[in-house]
């Protein structure tokens, strides 16, 4: 890192000692609401332009002088698992590229992370463990946006180490798998897709949606739809994708987003199938999510299918042909999810049936395949 700048805020004290910032908690403080700015210090990372790559990073805070396993591993730069209780001391940092450096734009679904985080006494769902009630407004300026959240979710039997609705559970597995497959990505968040300034989808061949990409703004949806209409590709390894609408209050499009409002149970007058060709309600009422199947699932065939999917989708260099014989301006939308039935995973491929929202198999994965293979120049592993 090139350096760190800290802007003090709230009751947490920040002091520079021997070239390092030391944060001091005031001890007991009053409760902070789920829909308020928690007023913590703002930490600005100043990366070394020569070394830092686009990707998803984790910032770790540990007690100075404390002889904890987390502190020892962090100080020694050893591998750390971002699960409870250590993840309570971590923050997710997504580094955008300075200029496009890959063919794929990976969108980290931070809207969903905040939607399920009941830190401060509420989120979009009732939390039976912490006894909070469903709310329609949450703050984006609080803990738990990807790591260290307070959740009322049951344990996932396929991965009991990491809690659901967190970066470790969904995205980290898939990113690790992308690196192993040599598939390079540039990393962005939902907010970049909403704003459309730092992320310009026309600079990419494929947008990648992973894990649990549920909450979208109208602007996010419109930008993705325009990208597809102009010949872009969309690869979806996510459940509940674009299922529920949100907005960011009265924040300007290029401003800082402080709150997120849930606008309803579904999109008014239509559903997500108009964008992705699939509907949770119509075709996938009970699903586990594609990232677990593709990245860390027990089925080797599922991993191979996912690899072929991403490579073919990115490698698509021609538009599909319509029934009239004319090339269609709309390129491929590829979606995959694994049903919860505990049976051997088998892959069913379809183009027309899935786009119409019908069910394309009894169990396993349903998918819409793209075309061609990934060109050789895209097989080089990139930052992730």
Q: Is residue 251 in a domain?
A: yes
Residue 88, domain member (yes or no): no
Q: Is residue 166 part of a domain?
A: yes
Task: Give pLDDT, residue 229.
Answer: 93
Q: How many Å is the Cα radius of gyration of the chain?
A: 21
In a domain, 33, yes or no: no
Query: In angstroms, rounded to a whole number, what is the distance separating the alpha carbons of residues 45 and 56?
Result: 14
Helix (H, G, I), strand (E, B), or coil: what is residue 295?
Answer: helix
The tokens for 329 are 């301006």
CA 286 and chain centroid, separation: 20
pLDDT score, position 312: 58
The reported pLDDT for the residue numbered 309 is 60
Instruction: Write the burial class of residue 163 (CB in 10 Å: 0-12 exposed, 13-18 middle, 19+ buried).
Output: buried
Total tally of structural domains belonging to the chain: 1
CA geometry: angle 252, 98, 9, nearest 5 deg: 50
Torsion of CA 173, 174, 177, 179, to 10 degrees: -110
Secondary structure (3-state) at 355? helix
Separation between Cα atoms, residue 309 and residue 354, nearest integer Å: 15
* pLDDT computed for residue 76 by the predictor: 82
In a domain, 343, yes or no: yes
* Structural domain includes residue 353: yes
Grouping H, G, I as helix, E, B as strand and the rest as coil, residue 11 is coil
Q: What is the pLDDT of residue 311?
A: 62
Tell me if 133 is assigned to some domain. yes
- E strands, 244-363, where? 244-247, 259-262, 287-288, 333-339, 347-349
The pTM of the full predicted model, rounded to 2 decimals, is: 0.76
Q: Please tell me the number of Cα atoms within 13 Å of 186 on its side-chain side.
A: 21
Rounded Cα distance between 165 and 171, Å, is 10
How is residue 178 written in tokens? 């992308």
The domain in which residue 194 lies consists of 101-378
- Which two structure tokens, joined as six digits, stand for 104? 């794929």
CB atoms within 10 A of CB 326: 9
- Pairwise CA distance, residues 304 & 346, whole Å: 11
CA distances, 183 to each of 175, 180, 206, 263, 311 (Å) = 9, 8, 12, 36, 8
pLDDT at residue 366 in the model: 27
Q: Which residues pair with 13 in a beta bridge?
A: 24
Handedness of CA 255, 260, 261, 262 (dihedral sign): positive
**What confidence score (pLDDT) does residue 32 get?**
86
Domain-located, residue 3: no
Q: What is the pLDDT of residue 319?
A: 34
Give, for all 384 residues of the chain, the pLDDT tens digit. 456 777 777 777 788 887 777 777 777 677 789 888 888 777 777 766 667 789 998 888 877 666 788 888 887 888 888 888 888 888 898 999 989 999 999 999 999 999 999 888 899 998 888 888 999 999 999 888 998 888 888 888 888 888 888 999 989 999 999 999 999 999 999 999 999 999 999 999 999 999 899 999 999 999 999 999 999 999 999 888 999 999 999 998 888 899 999 999 989 888 888 888 877 765 443 333 333 333 344 455 555 666 666 665 555 433 333 333 333 343 445 554 332 222 222 222 222 222 222 222 222 222 222 222 223 333 333 333
- Residue 32's CB: how many other CB atoms inside 10 A? 19
């Amino acid at each position: 890192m090139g350096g760190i700048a800290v802007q003090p805020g709230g009751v947490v004290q920040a002091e520079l000692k021997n070239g390092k910032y030391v944060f001091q908690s005031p001890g007991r403080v009053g409760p902070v609401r789920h829909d308020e700015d928690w007023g913590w210090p703002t930490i600005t990372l100043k990366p070394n332009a020569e070394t830092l790559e686009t990707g998803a990073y984790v910032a770790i805070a540990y007690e100075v002088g404390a002889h904890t396993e987390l502190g020892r591993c962090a100080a020694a730069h050893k591998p750390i698992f971002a699960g409870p209780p250590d993840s309570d001391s971590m923050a997710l940092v997504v580094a955008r590229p300075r200029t496009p450096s890959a063919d794929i734009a990976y969108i980290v679904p931070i809207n969903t992370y905040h939607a399920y985080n009941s830190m401060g006494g509420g989120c979009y769902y009732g939390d039976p463990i912490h006894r909070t009630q469903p709310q329609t407004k949450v703050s984006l300026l609080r803990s738990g946006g990807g790591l260290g959240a307070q959740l009322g979710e049951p344990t996932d039997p396929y991965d009991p180490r990491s809690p659901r609705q967190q970066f470790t559970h969904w995205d980290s597995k898939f990113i690790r798998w992308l690196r192993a497959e040599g598939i390079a990505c540039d990393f962005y968040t939902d907010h970049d897709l909403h704003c459309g300034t730092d992320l310009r989808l026309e600079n990419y061949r494929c947008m990648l949606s992973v894990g649990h990409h549920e909450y979208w703004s109208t602007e996010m949806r419109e930008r993705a739809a325009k990208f597809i209409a102009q010949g872009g590709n969309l690869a979806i390894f996510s459940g509940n994708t674009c299922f529920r609408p949100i907005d960011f209050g009265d924040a300007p499009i290029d401003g800082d987003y402080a709150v997120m409002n849930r606008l309803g149970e579904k999109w008014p007058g239509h559903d997500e199938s108009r964008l992705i060709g699939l509907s949770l309600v119509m075709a996938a009422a009970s699903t586990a999510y594609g990232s677990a199947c593709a990245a860390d699932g027990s089925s080797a065939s599922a991993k191979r299918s996912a690899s072929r999917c991403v490579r073919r989708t990115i490698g698509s260099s021609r538009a599909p042909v319509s029934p009239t014989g004319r090339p269609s301006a709309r390129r491929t939308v590829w979606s995959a999810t694994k049903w919860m039935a505990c049976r051997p995973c088998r892959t069913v491929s379809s183009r027309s049936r899935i786009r119409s929202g019908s069910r394309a198999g009894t169990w396993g994965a349903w998918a819409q395949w793209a075309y061609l293979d990934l060109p050789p120049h895209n097989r080089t592993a990139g930052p992730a």
